[in-house]
A and B are shown apart, each in its own frame.
Chain A
Amino acid sequence: MTTRSTLLGVLAVTGALTAAAASSAQDGRVEAARKEGKVVWYTSLALSSSEKVAKLFEAAYPGVSVEVHRTGSQRVLQRVMQELQANLKLVDVIHTSDAGHFVLLKEKKLLLRYTPAGVDAFPSGFKDRDGYYYGLRATVNVIAYNSKIIAASEAPRTWKDLLDPKWKGRLVTAHPGYSGVIATHVLALVHLYGWDYFRQLAQNKLMLVQSAVDPSGVVASGERPVAVNGGDYTFYQTKKKGNPVEIVYPKEGVPLVVSPAAIAALAPHPNAAKLFTDFTFSREVQQVLADTEGLYTGHPDVTYPADKPKLGDLKLLFADPEELEKRNEELKKRFVEFFGA
């Protein structure tokens, strides 16, 4: 089933791009990318999803391979900075879920100014005003629960519901020191309820995992029946695979996480990087992200699965990238203070 839809996706995308590749300007770019041979992608998108995007690209542009290095947003930044300090030029395209990272990287002049084709129509929240980075995908933080263990009538409906002592020992959270999705989430909720919310939440003895992808697995296995955060797309995918997982969009609002992508200023394969970036922002790929991965995108023409709420119908909580960058240390530190590690 999954293989077939991937295959269909490949065919559709390949077809569309073969048509687009007709122009000679495009030929020159592809030729240059092919000479470079590959593009190195540091990404925080869940491994199976990033592998899918990579395979689509490789099918569309034979001769240019994608090296996927998937880890948490904060680890991606750590690697980028650590390598820079050692004067290593390894990364081409950087993609994390912490928009603050891109404020920092831009400030340090580590990004290449590049506008992917077709992003003009994206909403302003997906665009850097200086043209260095653009939102490749978006997700919202939600509550999720295991429906085999918890009846719908019992399930938490709001962020505040999670503070109830009856959830003691039954909750799982991902870590803002690892995940950009979670760092954004923490900042948005701090704005809503203050740090006191997390101080109280910690009383319920949460299980700490790292990636925002992991809570979906923990909830599906039943190790902890309720997740207090995590990207809705990971729960959506887990549910689609037949796991007893239900998603709750709390009415106080859901923190929106727009995950930017940018090309590194010192990219060793700049042409392949541009080709890859254009590709990932094309309508076809954005549609695949929406269809099979359950992500939201900034592309105005993308349609979404009927069983997902429209982004416009949700009350969204926003986190300002500049503030995210400035308070990065504080977010991690206070979280560790409350939750222990």
Chain B
Amino acid sequence: MPVWVLAALALVLLMALPLGWLGYMSVSSEAGVTLAHYRGVFTDPHLQKALWNTVVLAFWVGLVSLGIGAPMAWLTARTDLPGKRLIRGLIMASFVTPPFLGAFAWVMLAGPNAGLLNKLYRALTGAQEPLVNVFTMPGLIFVVAIYTFPYVFIMIANTLELIASDLEEAASILGAGRVRVALTVTLPMVLPAILSGFILAVLQALALFGSPAILALPAGFHTITTQIWALFQYPPKVEMAAAFSVPLLLATALLLLVQKQLLGRRGYAAVGGKGGARRRIPLGLWRLPALAGCLGVMACSIFLPYGILAKAAFARAWAEPLGVENVTLGNFALTFGHSGTRSAIWNTLELGILTACVGAGLAALLAYIVNRRIIPGHQFLAFLALAPVVIPGVVLAVALFVAYTRPPLLLYGSLWILFVAYLTKEMPVGYSQSDATFKGISPELEEAARVLGAGRLRVLGEITAPLARSGIIATWCFVFIGVIRELSASIILFTPNTKVISVVIFDLKEEGQFGAIAVLGLFMLVMTFAAVGVMQTLLGRDFMGAKE
């Protein structure tokens, strides 16, 4: 069956070629195999510092995300908190907000001198020192965490939804207080979810490029990702970049392995079905303070950043009040009048749509192969489809650059190399979504059709695909959203004809064109939320996993 085999081969090629080249480059030199690049990476004090900064950043982002995400998950899943739907909606919004856009907005909010919050604080208190300084490690951790905590939230909220209240009730009947129940009964049951949420958040922080580039570089420090990108500047040290990518790759793989172990040993009989009633815990007097806390978090990740972006889009001088003389449409004119922007918008749309179509199709095929066990070695395919999770965008870009700037496949310079990067990067998300879809479709109808003489492909096209339609379209939207916000791989792989919106935003950032960035950022958000809207309608629920 050639179609199945082709899909499988495409996947193998997609993964093996760049990673093979990456490994090869990291040990290659004119004199043959060498470990000199690795020695260079681990002995250079600057690179060591970047490594350490990344460790600090990732660890604290994990903790802070947990500190925000876990209580909010508990509040929305298990208590009578008012406005739950609103809170979930807002968390989803922060989930899809490009982190670099948030970082950029926070420069305007919490720059130590011109930042809006610091200006207000000084005006109110007469203080000299700023209230908060976003150009510091704590500032970076905060800004990354407010867009990363949704990962923790989703993990924990979905687990909490599955735990019945029986055990908790039994404990309280036996005389345990509310705190004791929470600590000795609920907590152990969600512990795997908490830990794996933590790991997911750490992974996000490890792979991030935009936020450190915007917040860490002005403060004079690097992370691994910004350092890899810097190694690409002229004269490029591709071998060093490759060698520096490998530790990041290994760290990611290791963390994922740990997470899999944690989720794998689900010895918690209580989790795993929807049986049993879930009792809402009354918050009593704490209802409103809890709501205020949640809204406070959302103010940091949504209200304030979106507000300041909107202001900057219409302002001549972003740091000044939006008085009559400061209002302008000039930012829109500069942004959309620039030929580079227009072609970047088209490129982004083209790539978004193309990658989403091919990605959703390929993911559906693969998930189908795996679920129906069509070819031998199908488990291996599932593994390969999920494997790109371990490859941070910058590392993937280095690998693709090395692989596709030489024959047989000269892709650099065309949109295809970006397409390949996006397709690879989005495959895990697409595959998981499709996998869930096909798991929900029982094979009886297909079997009936096959008995009546239809071939596999015909069955897939006429029976399974229509049943899986809304799931596949949701996959499409997932991939689309991921693609249009992608920065970390694009920043290395673009050429002038193949710029995408995120790259243009980054260019504008380096020139300090706040107004134009705000305009493009808002444009990007509109595209994102349009896709979210389509997806929610089709799924009939919010995509974070909860039923209406």
Q: Is the CB of B222 within 8 A of A90?
A: no
Cβ of A211: which chain B residues have Cβ within 8 Å of it? 510-512
Answer whether residue A51 sits at the interface, using C-beta atoms and an 8 A cutoff: yes
Closest B residue, CB atoms, query A222: B114
A276 shortest CB reach to chain B, Å: 14
Cβ of A217: which chain B residues have Cβ within 8 Å of it? 512-514
A67, A88, A178, A220: the one contacting B412 at CB < 8 Å is A88
Considering only residues 191-249 of chain A, those with a C-beta below 8 Å from chain B are 206-211, 213-214, 216-218, 220-225, 241, 243
Answer whether residue B111 sits at the interface, using C-beta atoms and an 8 A cutoff: yes
Contact with A along B515-528 (1 / 0, CB 8 A): 00000000000000
Answer whether residue A81 sits at the interface, using C-beta atoms and an 8 A cutoff: yes
Closest B residue, CB atoms, query A224: B113
Q: Is the CB of B233 within 8 A of A78?
A: yes
Answer whether residue A7 sits at the interface, using C-beta atoms and an 8 A cutoff: no
Q: Max chain A CB contacts within 10 Å: which of B236, B317, B511? A: B511
Q: Is the CB of A213 within 8 A of B221?
A: no
Cβ of A72: which chain B residues have Cβ within 8 Å of it? 510
Question: Looking at the complex, which of B5-13, B270-278, B333-341 is the stretch in contact with chain A?
Answer: B333-341
Q: Is the CB of B337 within 8 A of A51?
A: yes
Closest B residue, CB atoms, query A101: B234
Q: Is the CB of B495 within 8 A of A90?
A: yes
- Contact of A223 with B338 at beta-carbon distance under 8 Å, contacts A339-B220, A341-B217 already known: no
CA distance A85 to B405 in the complex (A): 8
Cβ of B191: which chain A residues have Cβ within 8 Å of it? none
Answer whether residue A137 sits at the interface, using C-beta atoms and an 8 A cutoff: no
Answer whether residue B216 sits at the interface, using C-beta atoms and an 8 A cutoff: yes
Cβ of A220: which chain B residues have Cβ within 8 Å of it? 317, 319
Q: Is the CB of A208 within 8 A of B217?
A: yes
B233, B234, B412, B513: the one contacting A86 at CB < 8 Å is B412
Q: Is the CB of B218 within 8 A of A68?
A: no
CA distance A145 to B366 in the complex (A): 60
Cβ of B219: which chain A residues have Cβ within 8 Å of it? 207-208, 340-341
- Contact of A78 with B232 at beta-carbon distance under 8 Å, contacts A70-B340, A241-B316 already known: yes
Answer whether residue B46 sits at the interface, using C-beta atoms and an 8 A cutoff: yes
Question: Looking at the complex, which of A15-23, A42-50, A153-161 is the stretch in contact with chain B?
Answer: A42-50
Cβ of B138: which chain A residues have Cβ within 8 Å of it? none
Q: Is the CB of A336 within 8 A of B46?
A: yes
Q: Is the CB of B512 within 8 A of A218?
A: yes
Q: Max chain B CB contacts within 10 Å: which of A177, A208, A213, A223? A: A223
CA distance A90 to B111 in the complex (A): 39
A5 shortest CB reach to chain B, Å: 14
A137 shortest CB reach to chain B, Å: 17
Interface residues on B, range: 35 or more
CA distance A270 to B508 in the complex (A): 29
- Contact of A78 with B236 at beta-carbon distance under 8 Å, contacts A88-B495, A341-B221 already known: yes
B39 shortest CB reach to chain A, Å: 18
Interface residues on A, range: 35 or more
B213 shortest CB reach to chain A, Å: 9
Closest A residue, CB atoms, query B496: A69
CA distance A75 to B236 in the complex (A): 11
- Contact of A90 with B413 at beta-carbon distance under 8 Å, contacts A67-B496, A213-B512, A223-B319 already known: yes
Answer whether residue B112 sits at the interface, using C-beta atoms and an 8 A cutoff: yes
Cβ of B221: which chain A residues have Cβ within 8 Å of it? 340-341
Q: Is the CB of B338 within 8 A of A68?
A: yes
CA distance A87 to B414 in the complex (A): 12
Considering only residues 216-247 of chain B, those with a C-beta below 8 Å from chain A are 216-222, 226, 230, 232-236
CA distance A337 to B221 in the complex (A): 11
Cβ of A91: which chain B residues have Cβ within 8 Å of it? 496
B114, B340, B495, B512: the one contacting A79 at CB < 8 Å is B495
Q: Is the CB of A79 within 8 A of B496?
A: yes
- Contact of A340 with B512 at beta-carbon distance under 8 Å, contacts A74-B234, A329-B235 already known: no
B480 shortest CB reach to chain A, Å: 27
Answer whether residue A82 sits at the interface, using C-beta atoms and an 8 A cutoff: yes
CA distance A311 to B514 in the complex (A): 31
Contact with B along A280-316 (1 / 0, CB 8 A): 0000000000000000000000000000000000000
A42, A48, A81, A177: the one contacting B334 at CB < 8 Å is A48
Considering only residues 57-94 of chain A, those with a C-beta below 8 Å from chain B are 65-72, 74-75, 77-79, 81-83, 85-88, 90-91
Considering only residues 394-443 of chain B, those with a C-beta below 8 Å from chain A are 405, 410, 412-413
- Contact of A69 with B340 at beta-carbon distance under 8 Å, contacts A211-B510, A213-B511, A214-B510 already known: yes
Q: Is the CB of A71 within 8 A of B510?
A: yes
A82 shortest CB reach to chain B, Å: 7
Contact with B along A240-262 (1 / 0, CB 8 A): 01010000000000000000000
Q: Is the CB of B220 within 8 A of A341?
A: yes
Answer whether residue A111 sits at the interface, using C-beta atoms and an 8 A cutoff: no
Contact with A along B204-224 (1 / 0, CB 8 A): 000000000000111111100
CA distance A274 to B114 in the complex (A): 45
Answer whether residue B318 sits at the interface, using C-beta atoms and an 8 A cutoff: yes
A68, A77, A83, A87: the one contacting B340 at CB < 8 Å is A68
A290 shortest CB reach to chain B, Å: 21
CA distance A40 to B495 in the complex (A): 12
Cβ of B340: which chain A residues have Cβ within 8 Å of it? 67-70
- Contact of A70 with B339 at beta-carbon distance under 8 Å, contacts A81-B234, A213-B512 already known: no
Cβ of A329: which chain B residues have Cβ within 8 Å of it? 235
Closest A residue, CB atoms, query B516: A47
Closest A residue, CB atoms, query B223: A341
Q: Is the CB of A214 within 8 A of B512?
A: yes
Considering only residues 160-180 of chain A, those with a C-beta below 8 Å from chain B are 169, 177-178
CA distance A339 to B319 in the complex (A): 26
Cβ of B497: which chain A residues have Cβ within 8 Å of it? 90
CA distance A337 to B495 in the complex (A): 30
Cβ of B115: which chain A residues have Cβ within 8 Å of it? 223
Q: Is the CB of B216 within 8 A of A223?
A: no
Cβ of A46: which chain B residues have Cβ within 8 Å of it? 511
B43 shortest CB reach to chain A, Å: 15
Answer whether residue B169 sits at the interface, using C-beta atoms and an 8 A cutoff: no
Q: Is the CB of B234 within 8 A of A340?
A: no
Answer whether residue B142 sits at the interface, using C-beta atoms and an 8 A cutoff: no
Q: 4 new A-B pairs (CB below 8 Å) besides A169-B112, A223-B111? A: A46-B511, A83-B495, A217-B513, A223-B112
- The 28 listed contacts between A and B (C-beta, < 8 Å) are A47-B334, A47-B338, A47-B508, A68-B339, A70-B340, A70-B507, A71-B507, A75-B233, A82-B236, A83-B413, A88-B412, A90-B497, A209-B512, A210-B217, A211-B510, A211-B511, A214-B510, A218-B114, A223-B114, A223-B319, A224-B113, A336-B46, A340-B219, A340-B220, A340-B221, A340-B222, A341-B217, A341-B220
Enumerate chain B interface residues (CB-CB to A < 8 A).
Answer: 46, 111-115, 135, 216-222, 226, 230, 232-236, 316-319, 334, 337-340, 405, 410, 412-413, 495-497, 507-508, 510-514
